[in-house]
Amino acid sequence: MIFEVSGVVVEWRGPAPFYFLPTDEKTSQEISEVRSELSYGWGVIPARVTIGSVTVTTSLIPRAGSFYIPLKNDIRIPNKISAGDEVNLTLEL
């Protein structure tokens, strides 16, 4: 499954900050329909994310009716992405 996802980057504050892009309602619903087939536990789903020319592997995290797509430094820094930025990415499950 391949999705084009757009949204605003959120920052999770903790001992170390993490950055995420929440999935929109339509994408969240489509992923939820196949979630049990793809999850390796706790509802976490392995994925590949591409922004620009950078692709990384990660895992979607279910949260508040959507899925949070982690934006690792390997993809965030080369694309100069910060909290509050509007981002478009390709999500492959």
pTM of the predicted model, to two decimals?
A: 0.90
Q: What is the dihedral of CA 82, 83, 86, 91, to 10 degrees?
A: 80
- pLDDT digit string, tens, across residues 26-60: 999 999 999 888 888 777 899 999 999 999 999 99
What is the residue extent of each domain of the chain? 2-92
Segment 77-83 shows an average pLDDT of 97
- CA-based max dimension of the chain: 34
Q: Give the whole-angstrom CA distance, residue 9 versus residue 45.
A: 19
Cα distances (angstroms) measured from residue 39 to each of 32, 33, 64: 10, 12, 17
Give the per-residue pLDDT at 43: 79
Superfamily grouping for domain 2-92: AF2212/PG0164-like (2.40.30.100)
